[in-house]
Amino acid sequence: MAISIPCRQLFIDGEWREPALKKRLPVINPATEATIGYIPAATAEDVELAVDAARRALTRNKGKDWATASGAVRAKYMRAIAAKITERKSEFAKLESIDSGKPLEEAAWDMDDVSGCFEYFADLAEALDAKQKAPVSLPMDNFKCYILKEPIGVVGLITPWNYPLLMAIWKVAPALAAGCTAILKPSELASVTCLELAEVCREVGLPPGVLNILTGLGPEAGAPLASHPNVDKIAFTGSTITGSKIMTAAAQMVKPVTLELGGKSPIIVFDDVDLDKAVEWTMFGCFWTNGQICSATSRLIVHESIAADFLDKLVQWTKNIKISDPLEEGCKLGPVVSEGQYEKILKVISTAKSEGATIVCGGARPEHLKKGFFIEPTIITDINTSMQIWREEVFGPVLCVKTFASEDEAIELANDTRYGLGGAVISQDLERCDRVSKALQAGIVWINCSQPCFCQAPWGGNKQSGFGRELGEWGLDNYMSVKQITQYVSNEQWGWYQSPSKLYNFKQLSLLIQRSGFRFLLIWKMGSSEEKVVAVIMVGGPTKGTRFRPLSLNIPKPLFPLAGQPMVHHPISACKRIANLAQIYLVGFYEEREFALYVSSISNELKIPVRYLREEKPHGSAGGLYNFRDLIMEDSPSHIFLLNCDVCCSFPLPEMLDAHKKYGGMGTILVIKVSAESASQFGELIADPETKELLHYTEKPETFVSDLINCGVYIFTPEVFTAIQGVSSQRKDRANLRRVSSFEALQSATRSLPTDYVRLDQDILSPLAGKKQLYTYETGDFWEQIKTPGMSLKCSGLYLAQFRFTSPDLLASGDGTKNATFLGDVFVHPSAKVHPTAKIGPNVSISANARIGPGVRLISCIILDGVEIMENAVVTNAIVGWKSTIGRWSRVQASGDYNAKLGVTILGESVGVEDEVVVTNSIVLPNKTLNVSVQEEIIL
């Protein structure tokens, strides 16, 4: 199949430019040894032009065009690039395959990773804005400190030929996300797809000079780039020798570098492995990408008791690898990249043989391939640790084998190297895997696998494999500098030097008294009995997201029972405790008919108007509030409570209101401390420990910010509507600007939000943090967010537990229902019939008209209306739907992981479980009959 190589020039300042010396280098197809095209050869003069262009792009319009633009602006370009590469995936993969010799299937996989890497770092770019001005806790109250992260500047990126485009993107994507401008210099042995990346950047309108791409030889283009005084950082992937030279040049200018260098990584195989699995991972670790991987686990260290069997199977499987032109279907091993690399590998194999090693497989050109730089996958035994083949990186499909007798010996062999990039350990004993992983001197360790790489996780090595980390948040930090901003916030003079007059202190005192008096009058006015309060409860709807219907129970989530009452009943009844409450509004997407009966009954029960307001389309948590502002403001309330119905909480609303009146400002947020491990699932915030002012807020951060989280319960003054309107107006202004933007015209799927879609967390809380507008009220009582039906079990227990200290009569007692045995917190509806020999609790809710038979055992479960549970049945960690029946001696049970999809068992409406059937960790949809036991199944 003939594939033409596009004829490209150097990419400088957003334009194609001929190299200064007009020189070009041939592109050799390693599978055919034919010249298939040419690439431009840059020299020092071209490097000068590219660095100047990058510097102009960094500072253009005082940096507002790129370096100091919002992360969202940079993310749009990056996502546009990702979309273009996905669109041209097949073309890019074929170009990469004929340029580098990589099998086509692997090249296509790489292109998916390229797009994914751009998307991932686009997400991190967007998240940067919210993380700016992160506060630093100081020991002195009269100072405040925060952190700014800024792009490091102009960066030089020098990349290898084994993953030509992907490893370039490992550097380009985080650099652009950080706001840097860059000069990319790919390897002269495989540059074609990097030049096509330049064309993609030109097509999406990336600002000129942000990314410049120079191809050419290392000494003529790479060296001038690495030593250029106007380049702020160098990131290099390649040989240890070249990396050392780059580091030396950078040291002369005290310039930071990131180096990902050579490797000679071990794979340790213990005697308890599954041979087939271990053999395949051993092959993948060394022969993938034609063996040309810096992290290749090319030193096999196998336990002596299984070595013979393991090696026999390894040789058989290796001989079965299909070696062919990389464009052929099913190719698993192509040629190495160049004639020079081909000759180097054969020489290393020959030297090993002359030193006494045994070639048990491969070691030469495949007989059926007369052209191309093909080398058979090679396995070498009878190695001693002083041999070159054991100690030096080969960068080809060559695997060396040694045996070991003990764990300590294996670790010693693995660490006996000047490199420290990767390592793998294969064993069914996970405790041993953990010990060995900790003992290996490497930046990356794989357990029961080899070579998987994810752009979310750090990549880099120790010892002479380099330093610094690429990928993940660590990769982004490589391209950013950290700036500390410290402010003196006290009104008092610092006092180190003596003032000639004390008059200043008297003025300060006078001003303080005046301010205190004003604050007192303001608080007194806010506490007036004439003020009214309204409450808004967001009930969501049957849409994609966290607010969903319980999986097999056909009811809106807010009406799902929690501690014997509809879920939304609890925040509504909490609102009843607020003084001067005028109205309660429920806002959501459900059809009005689904809430009509409930709203009517709860209004009569509480003697307070409760109204359901249906959104016709999503407006966001704050936008939904604003959408109904005229109705909410009918009673001219002084304060508005905003609650989420999928929160299980003690709801200290009157206490929050008192605290808010004391604080002042626009709003107060209910907060709670949780474990650091779970904090990232929620909005994390930092508050002033004295004043309780909200200083910083970030929604579901990727790195730990604080163990203080947003509980989803708020008090606002009506000024919140002005803040929401401001966000909406800014969006409209940006939308008008986008209509005349040539870049936006190229974006068929722009990710901007509708102008009337306003999120409370990202759009209101984050921007107002630190502006003396928002405050926090910390609860010491319980709080949980109900994300799954299973969480309602846990939350039922929390609700019932509080009644022990407040209204114990709401809990079932030993003499309350025919003397059945109750343990812990149990709710039983008065109409339910429970046999005296049943044993119930803890954490059980039994709804209306349920019938619980003799000898039944119920633990951590919700039993809905009309359910019948027959004698000696057991129900644990389960939700049993309306009118379901559970037969004699049956068990309906689960593990009790409330967050997991199958962590609780759920029976839908009218499910029949026959006698002696066990249902474990399963979901059964309505109207099904089970006559056989099931485990971890979803019964449709």
Q: According to the 3-state scheme, what is the secondary structure of 803-868?
A: HCCCCHHHCCCCCCCCCCEECCCEEECCCCEECCCCEECCCEEECCCCEECCCCEEEEEEECCCCE
Question: Are 221 and 321 in the same domain?
Answer: no
CB–CB of 328/31 below 8 Å? no
Question: Going by DSSP bridges, is the β-strand pair 358-361/378-381 parallel, antiparallel, or unpaired?
Answer: antiparallel
Which amino acid is residue 207, in one-letter code?
Answer: P
> What's the N-to-C CA distance of the chain in angstroms?
49
Question: Are 928 and 887 in the same domain?
Answer: yes
Spatial separation of the C-alpha atoms in residues 45 and 542, rounded to whole Å: 62
Q: What is the pLDDT of residue 100?
A: 97
pLDDT tens-digit map of 429-449:
999 999 999 999 999 999 999
Which amino acid is residue 883, in one-letter code?
Answer: K
Question: Are 254 and 293 in the same domain?
Answer: no
Question: Are 173 and 219 in the same domain?
Answer: yes
Spatial separation of the C-alpha atoms in residues 482 and 148, rounded to whole Å: 6
Q: What is the pLDDT of residue 505?
A: 47
Question: Are 841 and 894 in the same domain?
Answer: yes
Domains identified in the chain, total number: 4
> What tokens does 119 get?
């998307």
In sequence order, what are the residues at sequence separation of 6 or more whose Cβ sits closer than 8 angstroms to the Cβ of residue 701? 127, 130, 131, 680, 684
Indicate which residues carry an active-site annotation: 260
For residue 521, being part of any structural domain is answered with no
CB–CB of 225/185 below 8 Å? yes
For residue 751, being part of any structural domain is answered with yes
Strand partners, 359: 380
Tell me how crowded residue 244 is: count the other CB atoms within 10 A of its CB.
Answer: 13
Range of the domain at 872: 789-939
Question: Are 239 and 283 in the same domain?
Answer: no
Higher pLDDT, 510 or 592: 592
> What tokens does 927 get?
């109207």
Q: Is 883 helix (H, G, I), strand (E, B) or coil?
A: coil
pLDDT band with cut points at 50, 70 and 90 for residue 26:
very high
Averaged pLDDT for residues 676-681: 82
For residue 894, being part of any structural domain is answered with yes
In sequence order, what are the residues at sequence separation of 6 or more whose Cβ sits closer than 8 angstroms to the Cβ of residue 333? 103, 287, 290, 321, 322, 323, 377, 397
Averaged pLDDT for residues 270-284: 98
Q: What is the CATH number for 209? A: 3.40.605.10
For residue 705, being part of any structural domain is answered with yes
Instruction: Inform me whether the pLDDT recorded for 393 exceeds 50.
Output: yes
Spatial separation of the C-alpha atoms in residues 571 and 747, rounded to whole Å: 43
CB–CB of 558/567 below 8 Å? yes
pLDDT tens-digit map of 194-211:
999 999 999 999 999 999
For residue 744, being part of any structural domain is answered with yes
Q: What is the pLDDT of residue 143?
A: 92
pLDDT band with cut points at 50, 70 and 90 for residue 552:
low
Q: What is the DSSP letter of 207?
A: P
For residue 917, being part of any structural domain is answered with yes
Rg of the chain in Å (alpha carbons): 34
Q: Is 198 helix (H, G, I), strand (E, B) or coil?
A: helix
**Least-confidence region, from 164-173, 235-244, 307-316:** 235-244
Burial 515-531 (b: 16+ CB within 10 A, else e): eeeeeeeeeeebeeeeb
**Least-confidence region, from 166-170, 249-253, 529-533:** 529-533
pLDDT band with cut points at 50, 70 and 90 for residue 60:
very high
pLDDT band with cut points at 50, 70 and 90 for residue 549:
low
Spatial separation of the C-alpha atoms in residues 574 and 572, rounded to whole Å: 5
pLDDT tens-digit map of 379-388:
999 999 999 9
Handedness of CA 315, 321, 324, 325 (dihedral sign): negative
Q: What is the pLDDT of residue 810?
A: 62
pLDDT band with cut points at 50, 70 and 90 for residue 2:
low
In sequence order, what are the residues at sequence separation of 6 or more whose Cβ sits closer than 8 angstroms to the Cβ of residue 507? none
pLDDT tens-digit map of 475-500:
999 999 999 999 998 888 888 886 66
Q: At what angle do helices 620-627 and 720-738 cross, to 10 degrees?
A: 110
- Least Cα distance to 360 among 433, 408, 308 occurs for 308
Q: What is the DSSP letter of 61?
A: G
Spatial separation of the C-alpha atoms in residues 789 and 294, rounded to whole Å: 47
Residue 259 backbone dihedrals phi, psi, to 5 degrees = -125, 125
Q: Cα separations (Å) of 476 from 20, 134, 243, 398, 596?
A: 33, 17, 21, 34, 51
Spatial separation of the C-alpha atoms in residues 539 and 598, rounded to whole Å: 13
Question: Are 756 and 806 in the same domain?
Answer: no
Report the half-sphere exposure of 315 (CA within 13 A, side-chain side). Answer: 15
Cα 462–Cα 465–Cα 466 angle in degrees, nearest 5: 75
- Please state whether the peptide bond connecting residue 842 to the residue before it is cis, i.e. omega within 30 degrees of 0: yes
> What tokens does 238 get?
């390649």
Query: Where are the extended beta strands (E) located within 530-617?
Result: 533-540, 561-562, 565-566, 581-588, 610-614
Q: What percent of the chain has pLDDT over 90?
A: 63
Q: Is 356 left (phi over 0), alpha (psi -120 to 50) or beta?
A: left
Averaged pLDDT for residues 55-75: 95
Q: What percent of the chain has pLDDT over 70?
A: 90
Rounded to the nearest 10 degrees, how much is the dihedral formed by the CA atoms of 669, 670, 675, 681? -60
Q: What is the CATH number for 387? A: 3.40.309.10
Q: Is 37 helix (H, G, I), strand (E, B) or coil?
A: strand
Spatial separation of the C-alpha atoms in residues 382 and 357, rounded to whole Å: 5
Question: Are 567 and 594 in the same domain?
Answer: yes
Question: Are 731 and 874 in the same domain?
Answer: no
For residue 888, being part of any structural domain is answered with yes
Q: Using the 3D structure, point to which of 417, 439, 454 is the last residue of a domain.
A: 454
Q: Using the 3D structure, point to which of 770, 785, 800 is the last residue of a domain.
A: 785
In sequence order, what are the residues at sequence separation of 6 or more whose Cβ sits closer than 8 angstroms to the Cβ of residue 598? 559, 566, 568
Q: Using the 3D structure, point to which of 394, 420, 454 is the last residue of a domain.
A: 454
Residue 393 backbone dihedrals phi, psi, to 5 degrees = -65, 130
Q: What is the DSSP letter of 754?
A: P
Q: What is the pLDDT of residue 901?
A: 66
Spatial separation of the C-alpha atoms in residues 870 and 853, rounded to whole Å: 5
Question: Are 65 and 170 in the same domain?
Answer: yes
> What tokens does 266 get?
């071990």
Q: What is the CATH number for 637? A: 3.90.550.10
The structure's pTM equals 0.58
> What tokens does 303 get?
């336990």
Spatial separation of the C-alpha atoms in residues 103 and 331, rounded to whole Å: 6
Q: What is the pLDDT of residue 737?
A: 56
**Least-confidence region, from 283-297, 418-432, 661-675, 718-732:** 718-732
CB–CB of 95/196 below 8 Å? yes
Strand partners, 15: 12
For residue 510, being part of any structural domain is answered with no
Q: What is the CATH number for 820? A: 2.160.10.10
CB–CB of 351/389 below 8 Å? yes
Question: Are 797 and 695 in the same domain?
Answer: no
Question: Are 245 and 276 in the same domain?
Answer: no
Spatial separation of the C-alpha atoms in residues 712 and 649, rounded to whole Å: 10
Name the helix (H) or strand (E) containing 392.
none
pLDDT tens-digit map of 775-792:
999 988 888 888 777 788
Q: What is the pLDDT of residue 249?
A: 86
